[in-house]
Chains A and B, each alone.
Chain A
Amino acid sequence: MRRIIVGANISQKIIVQTCLGNDVSNTQVLTISTYEKNQFQTYDIYRGKVEFRGNPSPIYNCHGLTFASRRTGIHESKEISKILQDDNYQEIIHPHPVLPGDVVLYFSDDGDVEHSGIVICKPDDTNLNIPVVISKWGKYCEVIHWANVCPYDSSRLRYYRIIDNDAKIEKIRLRDT
């Protein structure tokens, strides 16, 4: 029987590309140890405030959920910037409304993208203009939560959507020429 050592680098990469065909660096982690599972009780403080969805998975992280269809983990902020640029995401700035399907990015004070998710319920006056999002917390499971109810710093949220599909098509054409 193969012994799994916690933290050991048992992982692999798959091909993920942006709309323009640029490779996105990614890693599928294939181990989740008993020790890590035991540590998931850290999230118990959120029970009743959020809804946990599915089982813990090391294969993908939050960015993998948001940008890679849950197939793998994207572990570098520069890859997120590449996807936003190549796929022609645009930031949704107030007063334009945030809508379900928009991507939410959690920026840190140093500009790093610490967390990401997908908006599933639009914000309005009844919920203090805070949307409900689905995201993944580390190696734990997917979580449905208010954008500001999570272990990540939610003071610098930014929302993104692909708005101008004509421009996106033009980008792809330019690449092909």
Chain B
Amino acid sequence: MTVTTEVAPAPRRSSRRGASFRDAGPPVALIVIFGVFAALSPQFRSFGNVQNIVDSAAVLAVVTCGITFVLMMGSIDLSAAGVMGASALTVSLLVANNRNGNDFGFFGILAAVLLGCAFGCLSGLALVLLKVPSFMATLGVSAVGLGVATLMFAGVQPNISDAALKGWAVERFLGFSYLTWIAVACILLGWLIQRYTRLGRYAYAIGGAEEVLTLSGVQVRPYKVAVFALAGAFYGLGGVMVTSQLGAGLVQAGNGYDFSAITAAVVGGTLLTGGRGGVLHSAVGVLLVMVLTNGLVQVGVSPYWQGGVEGVIVVAAVAAAVIPQRRRNQVVK
């Protein structure tokens, strides 16, 4: 039986080859899927639709950027929906709106991002201090965020009238909306953090071998909290961006983004077990998910299936990712 014997570590070269295949796979899949849909639907290959896909990917890209850091550590984050709801309500109540006389403009946005950061901190602290597994801690924090958002919503929808924030979704620069450029900036920032800061490097290391890191004298706990806080800040910004799109603060602003972001990151090649992947991988994953959902609608599949398609591809992607380690992974919870 496979389980009774400890399998010797696979030869190094084969794991290398697996890694390069994993890195090349998602971009190739993206091109293939894009090609298939372009062949099937003339509407899909129009420039307007490509613009549309990229613009609608903006919020998901920012959220995925955040979740990627958490996944790199081998943790999981289900709090995006709640954090985004809370930050959406915060920003819509702090910039010019129809509910109160506030008009803090940029500082309102900053406050919403910081609120997201605080929620992320909360998840991280629950993880390292209370030792609550991250999927439970973030499930709880998501509920708290939704509750806070509901309290702020108070039955009356806050419509924003802040011209600058509204303009994010409408005004264009070089053919793409400001939101898209913000997302590009976020991906760049995320990549820099991942590549050049201690936080990013340690996030990788924690996912790869936390024990080794601890034994070599690194205090991993502050970094874990910091990673969750960073992710929270990205969700906070995502909530602000949704508010700009909708022109109003809604409790459900982040509905479904948590799952879509996990799907995008996993499809992009970030492993749920941690230690592999990255922001650029995730960016490809986001485009893959968006092209797939947009393309399916264009060829006439009901938009209700969108969640189902994501569900199928996340299960398939995770299953494909564990195949190389099938024999090593004895216990899967």
Query: Do they bind each other?
Result: no
- Which residues of B approach A to under 8 Å, CB–CB? none
- Which residues of A approach B to under 8 Å, CB–CB? none
